[in-house]
A and B are shown apart, each in its own frame.
Chain A
Amino acid sequence: MDIRAGIAAGNKRAAARLITMIENGEPEAVEIIKENYDKIGTARIIGVTGPPGAGKSTVTDKLAKLLRKQGKKVAIIAVDPTSPFSGGAILGDRIRMSDLNTDEGVFIRSMGTRGALGGLSKSVNGAIKVMDILGCDYIFVETVGVGQSEIDIVKVADTVLMVMVPGLGDDIQAIKAGIMEIGDVFAVNKSDREGAEKTATEIELMLDLNGNTEYRPPVKNIIAKDNKGIEELWEAIEKHHEYMISSGNFNKRRQKAIETEILEIFKQNLLDKIERLEKKGEYLSDLTKKVFNKQIDPYTAAQELSSILSKEGGI
């Protein structure tokens, strides 16, 4: 398959293969992204996060359908956890999105976390770029079911939608730092259940304590499976976007995201270099033995490793 020609023609099979190449760390994939970088930056990226079972996939499915009615091209990246033991994964987010499978204007890709801990896969950034190149107007990134600290989504999304459900725990959960701080829009899904109003109130009370007086994240009660409240939810997402643009925060957030990405790539390149260095001469394992035998400490070992690396140069 000629990936380059396929990408240029907007072919889904080529795009799907390119994402696989990114996931597998093939250098060729980076080259193709580089060549197409001028096409990147037009898609809006919406993060969908929340605890397991909150209904992230169902909400994403409904929002995507709403946008399809407006004629927009939509991509969905759905991340599920990789087993830390086998390296395998069961990726089940498509179950809630079956009707979108055959829609020409929708591209769904499931990803395993493959060891990443922040609720995403490290290939998400690359997959977003591929879908952006393909001309998608909106890209939804659905995280794994999160606990309290998987907040990597804030590093990639223009708007973070936090999907909550009634009855998750007492109000103290709501004031914990981390996950609750990154929501730009809150949805209380399954609002036909008991405790939905209480959950919404608890989120509102938590938001009362937030410092930002310019923008207050709205809290919407929805029932995604019945398509109730989805339009209002989308309006809230649009309002957040308008605020981000008018306040100048949109560009600030994107710049921050780019900075984070550069540093991530830099770190990865460094780790790759160490891996290649190790193939030449077991420097890391020697240093490890020395630290284990208390001949040196890990700080000194790290310093030695970086001086070996700079001596060996362009590995």
Chain B
Amino acid sequence: MNRPIRVLVAKPGLDGHDRGAKVVARAMRDAGMEVIYTGLRQTPEQIAEAAIQEDVDCVAMSILSGAHNYLFPKVVQLLKEKGGEDILVIGGGVIPEEDIPGLKEAGIAEIFTPGTPTSVTIEFIKNNIKRN
């Protein structure tokens, strides 16, 4: 079915830098997606609840503060609790290489580190969302 993919772009945690998130959001818009942008300093509870209410296909989070090992898995867990286990979760930001396997283990489908072209992220979303 021809419908726009809906993505929640969120900034969990305390860092106040959302330039990257905004650039990605803009690129998603230009790729025909509906992007729900929630703004800075969101708790995992706020992100998961917004994802459910907005019925998104994907939650894309960006963290630059170093709290990714706690915040990313927490969102995945909350989504599961709320019945949103079919929502694709991806992450971006300053994430050390050695943390990536653990995050994938915890249910984050992919991590995009600085320098990734936005087109790569967009292709990944298109190819990996679980609903047609």
Give chain A's interface residues, CB within 8 Å of chain B.
1, 11-13, 16-17, 19-20, 23-24, 26, 82-83, 85-92, 94-95, 98, 101-102, 107-110, 112, 114
Contact = CB atoms under 8 A, between A and B. Distances in A.
Given A13-B84, A19-B55, A20-B55, A88 B30 contact: yes
B32 A12 contact: no
A94 B34 contact: no
A17 B53 CA distance: 8
Contact of A16 (B4, B39, B43, B53): B53
Interface string B23-45: 00110111111111111001101
Contact of A87 (B1, B4, B25, B38): B4
A98 B50 CA distance: 9
Closest CB pairs A-B (n = 8) = A95-B39, A88-B29, A16-B55, A101-B46, A24-B3, A87-B32, A20-B55, A88-B32
Contact of A86 (B29, B36, B38, B83): B29
Given A89-B35, A98-B46, A16 B1 contact: no
Contacts of B15: none
Contacts of A23: 3
Given A19-B55, A86-B31, A109-B54, A13 B36 contact: no
Contacts of A82: 34
Contacts of A13: 52, 55, 82-84
Contacts of A98: 38-39, 42, 46
Interface string B9-33: 0000000000000000110111111
B52 A91 contact: no
Contacts, number: 91
A37 B33 CA distance: 32
24 contacts: A13-B52, A16-B54, A16-B55, A19-B55, A24-B3, A83-B29, A83-B30, A85-B30, A86-B31, A87-B4, A88-B28, A88-B31, A88-B35, A90-B25, A90-B26, A91-B34, A94-B38, A95-B38, A101-B46, A101-B49, A102-B45, A107-B53, A108-B54, A110-B36
A88 to B, nearest CB: 4
Interface of A is mostly: mixed
B36 A16 contact: no
B9 to A, nearest CB: 9
Nearest to B29: A88
A11 B29 CA distance: 29
Contacts of A110: 34, 36, 54
Nearest to B7: A88
Contacts of B35: 88-91
Nearest to B25: A90
Contact of B52 (A12, A90, A114): A12
A107 B53 CA distance: 7
Interface in B65-118: 82-84
Contacts of A1: 83
B53 A12 contact: yes
Given A24-B1, A88-B29, A95-B38, A108 B55 contact: no
B3 A16 contact: no
